[in-house]
Amino acid sequence: MGYFLQQLINGLTLGMIYGLIAIGYTMVYGIIGMINFAHGEIFMIGAFISIITFLALGLVGVGWVPLALLIVLLATMLLTSVYGWALERVAYRPLRSSPRLAALITAIGMSIFLQNYVQLLQGARNKPLQPVITGGMRFLEDGEFAVNFSFLQMLIIALTIALMIGFTLLINRTALGRSQRACQQDLGMAALIGIDVDRTISLTFIMGASLASVAGLMFLLNYGVIDFYIGFLAGVKAFTAAVLGGIGSVPGAMLGGLLIGLIEAFWSAYFSVEYKDVAAFAILVLVLIFRPTGLLGKPDVEKV
């Protein structure tokens, strides 16, 4: 029981990180119908900006952890958004009217470019960070095993839930969210009623990037070590989560992220760690065979 609970906590934490990245995939797909394969790299850049900010704060002597965390959070959201915005502006906007394949290949190209860019600037070695948040709660003690719910895991879960609630409100309750939903349904018509489609798409990339940057910060805090290559696997997993939940659906991305996280955690716990990725992707294959639109996805509506 204790072991199960521990894996549940670990899986939830991991799932939250995947979910935050997956929202970026699903929103961009929803609005311009392309898979932004460079989104994993945006997540990686978010993690790098976080570690750099942490080290810089250490140098100037900001020692109070909550303040440092807040500054890092804001800095990484802000700076990573700039990357997200620039990515769309430079690489995708000129290709908006070209075939989807061109945009897809460009996305893969940007992904490779961003990996190499970070590798060149930061070096290829692992970047470690001292644990920032330590301690936790132990319960259900049973001999030497106890369920450990660390403060960091609590923070990750709470922050993700807060972000997702805020984000859902933004999409459903504000004029901005309404314009994004309109663009998602019919870009041409949205322009015809006066919505600045380019700006809405830019904002979508900015939102996706800022959520991914928070995921990057969480990844850094959780694992304590990052390198320029972390964006690939995390990106593919989050993409899987988005497809599993139903690409284009924001609640689907959150659900998919959680499921992938839980599947990975439980598979590693009860079967084998080596095959955890296989498990996650096998579930994806099964879902795509039996429910091609994903768990919460709607069948594709014919566009005129």
Partner 1 sequence: MSRADRALLSVEHLTMRFGGLVAIDDVSFEAPRAKITAIIGPNGAGKTTVFNCLTGFYKPTVGRLALRHPRRGEFLLERMEGHAIPAAAGVARTFQNIRLFPGMSVLENLLIAQHNALMRASGYTVGALLGLGGYAAAERRAIERARYWLDRVGLVDRADWNAGNLPYGAQRRLEIVRAMCIEPVLLCLDEPAAGLNPRESAELNALLTFIRDEHQVTLLLIEHDMSVVMEISDHVVVLDYGRKIADGTPEAVRNDPAVIRAYLGEPEEEARE
Residues in contact with partner 1 by CB under 8 A are 170, 173-176, 178-179, 181-182, 185-186, 188-197, 298, 301, 304
Closest separation in Å from C-beta 38 to partner 1: 25
Q: Is residue 166 classed exposed, middle or buried when 0-12, 13-18 and 19+ CB atoms within 10 A define those classes?
A: exposed
Expressed in percent and rounded to 5, the helix, strand and coil fractions of the chain are 75, 5, 20
Considering the complex, state which of residue 59 and residue 304 has its C-beta at the smaller distance from partner 1.
304
Alpha-carbon span 71 to 60, nearest angstrom: 13
Cα(218)–Cα(224) distance, integer angstroms? 9
Residue nearer to partner 1 on the CB measure, 197 or 221: 197
Residue 203 or 241: the one with the smaller Cβ distance to partner 1 is 203
Within 10 A of 162 (CB to CB), how many other CB atoms are there? 10
Report which secondary-structure segment, H or E, holds 140.
strand 136-142
CB closer to partner 1, 126 vs 174: 174
| Shortest distance, position 203 Cβ to partner 1, whole Å | 9
In angstroms, what is the minimal distance from the CB of 120 to partner 1? 36
Position of tokens 């939102």?
207
CB closer to partner 1 out of 70 and 192: 192
Q: How far is the CB of 124 from partner 1 (least distance, A)?
A: 40
- Asked if 296 contacts 249 with a C-beta cutoff of 8 angstroms, the reply is yes
CB of 300 to partner 1, least distance (A): 12
CA-nearest of 15, 49, 39 to 217 is 49
Residues 6, 174 contacting (CB under 8 angstroms): no
135 versus 166: smaller Cβ distance to partner 1:
166
CA angle 244, 247, 252 (to 5 degrees): 60
What is the pairing mode between strands 136-142 and 145-150? antiparallel
141 or 196: CB nearest partner 1: 196
Least separation in angstroms between CB 250 and partner 1: 13
Tell the smallest beta-carbon distance from residue 195 to partner 1 (Å): 5
Residues 6+ apart with CB under 8 A from 64: none
